Amino acid sequence: MGAMRLAVLDVGSNTVHLLVVDAHRGARPLPASSYKSDLHLAEHLSDDGNIDDAGADALVSAIKSSLTVAEGQGTEDMMAFATSALREAPNGPGLLERVHRETGVDLEVLTGRDEARLTFLAVRRWFGWSAGRLLVLDIGGGSLEIALGIDEEPALTESLPLGAGRLTRDRLPGDPPTKDDVKALRKYIRTELGRILRPFRAGGAPDHAVATSKTFRQLARITGSPPSSEGLMVARTLSAADLDVWVPRLAEMSTAQRAQLPGVSPARAPQLLAGALVAQATMDLFGLETLTICPWALREGIILRRLDWIEGS
């Protein structure tokens, strides 16, 4: 297989993200361009869980814009997928049909376990076999994915409704939220995590605990990790001790104050506290002192799976 230009279109709860990469056998996929549209589908949910008309219109518009960018980049193949927001909406299937009808794009709807498996593959390829048993955590807008294993395919995967956007919308209405709401959310997160802990504990202690996702990257940044401008190869970590200092601070800040923190965008600022609470509880219950931040995640996992499939065919 010679070099080919692949595009991945990721319809998440927060953004529509197009990643274009140049890839060929045995080489690291190299990003050619990246294009993002803020969407916040979670904010377009009606009381019955359906995505409203404004959200549907915004989704179709964002996909059309992404397609224009992909065509301009000369992509040969595009993989398009959607995660929890579309997965859970009762009108999701109808919206998928509309997307196909108006844009020609077939969105593959991933399950939470699919997300966990593909993210795990990307992390394994990034760190290699010497990383041993990997525990991989990913906080999205709608869900938290967890995977554990020693191979390229994780032995254990879990997906919980603990996304930063979902929790902010459903459980942290104030700006800043009340202490009672923060306390109640902390308890809810720990209860949800408590349900799935046993098999992970039985699966053996990880040699390497890794976090992916914008939420973890922002938390690492505000606790002192280097900015993204220093490149992918710079080591970035998040410590439980730093989180314990920062969570009370974030709880007292307004959204506008959080948006002033290094690396925190105004679009993501409202969700940062909920994301921090999930990160803190997960690290505590899994007994993790430090997480290593991995720059590769679900989109790269999709690309790697596609390259494996092309090479095997």
Position 310 confidence tier, pLDDT thresholds 50, 70, 90:
low
Q: Cα torsion for 117, 122, 123, 129, to the nearest 10°?
A: 100
Question: Which of 78-92, 193-207, 242-256 has the weakest average pLDDT?
Answer: 78-92
pLDDT of residue 145: 97
Calpha distance 106→81 (Å, rounded): 8
- On the question of pLDDT at 4 being above 90, the answer is no
114 token code pair: 């699919």
> Tokens 């410590």 correspond to what residue?
239
pLDDT of residue 311: 60
The percent of residues in the chain predicted with pLDDT above 90, rounded, is 81
Mean pLDDT for the chain overall? 93
**Do residues 190 and 281 make contact, with C-beta atoms less than 8 angstroms apart?**
yes
Position 307 confidence tier, pLDDT thresholds 50, 70, 90:
confident
- On the question of pLDDT at 1 being above 60, the answer is no
Residues near 44 by beta carbon (within 8 Å), at least 6 away in sequence: 51, 52, 54, 55, 56, 58
153 token code pair: 């395919």
Domains of the chain: 4-109 (3.30.420.40), 112-298 (3.30.420.150)
- On the question of pLDDT at 9 being above 90, the answer is yes
- On the question of pLDDT at 142 being above 60, the answer is yes
Average pLDDT over residues 267-289: 97
**Do residues 112 and 143 make contact, with C-beta atoms less than 8 angstroms apart?**
yes
Average pLDDT over residues 160-177: 95
- On the question of pLDDT at 110 being above 90, the answer is yes
Residue 246 has what DSSP assignment? H
Checking 186-193 for CB contacts under 8 A at 24+ apart, the result is: 186/277, 186/281, 189/162, 189/277, 189/278, 189/281, 190/281, 190/285, 192/160, 192/161, 192/162, 193/160, 193/162, 193/281, 193/282, 193/285
pLDDT of residue 159: 97
Position 264 confidence tier, pLDDT thresholds 50, 70, 90:
very high
Position 312 confidence tier, pLDDT thresholds 50, 70, 90:
low
Calpha distance 50→56 (Å, rounded): 10
Average pLDDT over residues 267-296: 97
The percent of residues in the chain predicted with pLDDT above 70, rounded, is 98
**Do residues 165 and 143 make contact, with C-beta atoms less than 8 angstroms apart?**
no
pLDDT of residue 2: 66
